Structure 1
């Protein structure tokens, strides 16, 4: 049993923390809002009122937060992780944030004797609940090896992809592929329906052929049914596409399809769909074709 501190108990963090409890670990969770702490307590975990309380016990710390500013506040801010952590703490940030933020946290952590990994995930809420996330980790190989037993509770694909910040760059690449795939599936649905073809049957065929993907496997039915309960919100994907575009600029590469995908996701947010699942890109494509309603 490992004493694991877990900060950030939202859509992704709460089921991840619960899975660690079910695997036999002592989990001390902290969040400032939402139902996550109650879910953790019901599963047998512990809840803390402050970061200091989490770190008084934790041997390993995991954070799962929305964006770079939240990570900077929780980790670097007054009363934050680095203020209370003891030297030797193993800290894995599993948020999806800017690579430069991860590198800065790792550099400051090394100065304080804290072992830092950036380990963002892919797989959405279902992957978090099922413990089948893909985990892409950046940082020292020995720190990755130390964290791997916990990662194996949370995910099925677990890869050390390089030094600090590399995990976030791989996650950025993941998000551009996911966003582009959703956009193309949305276009396929609009085309099939406009041509009078049953979209359910058409996507069943696509899912079984070369066009098949994990997204088609788990999302095609809900997309055709226009069910967009958030597993991963448009708002967060919009944030991630900003990271992708910034990384492309820094690397001096042209990613034209990524630019179009980012614009479609921005349009989804602008049309009021930010709180919906990212599969709601279908609504944007429908609106572009005059076949949807911005109020639906």
Structure 2
């Protein structure tokens, strides 16, 4: 850590596929790390490296300069921030609260308003890049909220992310993530359909990805997840059931803004089927299962 980077006590709540790696980068960056997770065993490696355990989100908040959360659903975000004994109630004035969960823009603005009333600053800062980006520390981080708090948190963001942008006031980070997920949703359909077409035409799918992946069709999803589709590797980098949660938020926000997004609606219906078929714990590339089922029918 450079002399210019002030050592902070950073609280981290949510040690899942993404959070565990993100928290590890903060600890490796020389900051004091205080953690909470519903399943304590997921914190074992961090605790062995010097992190401190707290018994609740409120206990994390009470001792931290910056509190970061990356939990499951908007209801979880609301509970850890606004519940009795939660983060907003227990944090000391001047603390910066950063929710990195993909959640509701409306909830982000509500948390920011209630936090400000207690002398706190709250940022919504969802991320994109999956487990690969989390492990590499080069996530895209989309921030909404107070510019001063954003600048103060930048040394911590830098440990976890590559491209970090303040997109506007509270809620703007979540709106940006919704735009991100909408782009992913239809692209996942396109990749699945492209590979399904290639298989039906008798093409080598791996060779197909290698050639079209260097042209205009190339993307992280085709080049990174396409080979996993082809090999039947559906291990989660990002859970299907979490993606469905995101698509529900995006559809609700689109309806509120009177937008008709047919690609988003179609993707949501197909991912719903994947969950109904029992594949919600797999990665988003498991959408290809539906195309292989159609081919076999």
TM-score, normalised relative to structure 1: 0.95
Runs (5+) with no aligned partner, structure 2: 1-6
1:208-256 deviation line (CA, Å, top 9, x unaligned): 1100111223222211101011110100000000011011011111111
The answer to whether the aligner puts 1:58 opposite 2:64 as a matched pair is: yes
Shift of residue 34 of structure 1?
5.9
Give the counterpart of 2:13 among 7, 21, 40.
7
Q: Give the corresponding residue for 1:247.
A: 253
Q: Give the corresponding residue for 1:136.
A: 142
The answer to whether the aligner puts 1:291 opposite 2:292 as a matched pair is: no
Q: Give the corresponding residue for 2:228.
A: 222
Q: Give the corresponding residue for 2:110.
A: 104
1:29-67 deviation line (CA, Å, top 9, x unaligned): 101116421132233322222223322321100000111
Cα separation, 1, equivalents of 2:277 and 2:35: 35
Q: Give the corresponding residue for 2:203.
A: 197
Give the counterpart of 1:16 among 12, 22, 26.
22
Farther off after superposition, 271-280 or 261-270: 261-270
Q: Give the corresponding residue for 2:91.
A: 85
- Taking a change above 3 Å as real, the CA distance of residues 178 and 84 of structure 1, as seen in their structure-2 partners, is same
Cα separation, 2, equivalents of 1:269 and 1:4: 35
Q: Give the corresponding residue for 2:158.
A: 152
Decide whether the 8 Å contact of 1:28 with 1:58 is kept in 2. Answer: yes
Cα separation, 2, equivalents of 1:53 and 1:78: 12
Decide whether the 8 Å contact of 1:40 with 1:47 is kept in 2. Answer: no
Q: Give the corresponding residue for 2:217.
A: 211
Cα separation, 1, equivalents of 2:222 and 2:48: 33
Q: Give the corresponding residue for 1:161.
A: 167
SS in 2 for 1:66: coil
SS in 1 for 2:68: strand
Q: Give the corresponding residue for 1:260.
A: 266
Shift of residue 99 of structure 1?
0.5
Shift of residue 269 of structure 1?
1.0
Shift of residue 258 of structure 1?
1.1
Q: Give the corresponding residue for 1:70.
A: 76
1:73-114 deviation line (CA, Å, top 9, x unaligned): 111101111221111111110000011011111111111111
Cα separation, 1, equivalents of 2:179 and 2:269: 16
Cα separation, 1, equivalents of 2:58 and 2:254: 38
Aligned residues: 291
Aligned-pair Cα RMSD in Å: 1.2
SS in 2 for 1:252: coil
Question: For 1:29-40, what aligned pairs fall within 5 Å after superposition?
Answer: 29-33=35-39, 35-40=41-46
Cα separation, 1, equivalents of 2:41 and 2:290: 31
- Taking a change above 3 Å as real, the CA distance of residues 254 and 52 of structure 1, as seen in their structure-2 partners, is closer
1:131-172 deviation line (CA, Å, top 9, x unaligned): 010000000111111111111110101010010001001101
Q: Give the corresponding residue for 1:173.
A: 179
Cα separation, 1, equivalents of 2:230 and 2:204: 10
Give the counterpart of 2:125 among 110, 113, 119.
119
Cα separation, 2, equivalents of 1:257 and 1:286: 20
Shift of residue 181 of structure 1?
1.3
Q: Give the corresponding residue for 2:284.
A: 278
Cα separation, 2, equivalents of 1:202 and 1:249: 37
Give the counterpart of 1:188 among 183, 194, 199.
194
